[in-house]
Amino acid sequence: MGDIITAGELAEGDVYRPVSLGQVVRCEAFVVREVRRYVGGATYAVVDARNVATGNAASISLREDTLVCRLEEQPRRDVVAYLDLLAEGASVNVVRHDGRFWL
């Protein structure tokens, strides 16, 4: 499963989701193309990314201490096995990117 990290820890190739009010936002996932640092009144991570679902490019400025969820690649067999373990009424959100699965 994904790890909650700060935006300052993102690196090229990471697949991540935003975190809002301590909860992972399930609607969007981004793959990081490049991370630059900008120092103004605060230090920002300027993340050049691509939305996994739409393919649209984005340049996202996040304070370095902003929380994000870096997703972890999972083998297909583990994703399928995980579905059998879900409690009744539970849900899981899997991201498919570049032919691989991410949770």
| Token pair belonging to 75 | 């083998």
Question: 50-95, pLDDT tens digit by residue?
Answer: 999 999 999 999 999 999 999 999 999 999 998 888 899 988 889 9
The CATH number that applies at residue 58 is 2.30.30.30
pLDDT the model gives residue 60: 93
Domain span at 75: 3-102
Cα 92 to Cα 1, 48, 53, 77, 79, distances in angstroms: 11, 27, 17, 15, 10
Number of domains in the chain: 1
Cα–Cα dist 11/55, whole Å: 19
24 has pLDDT over 80: no
State the pTM of this model: 0.84
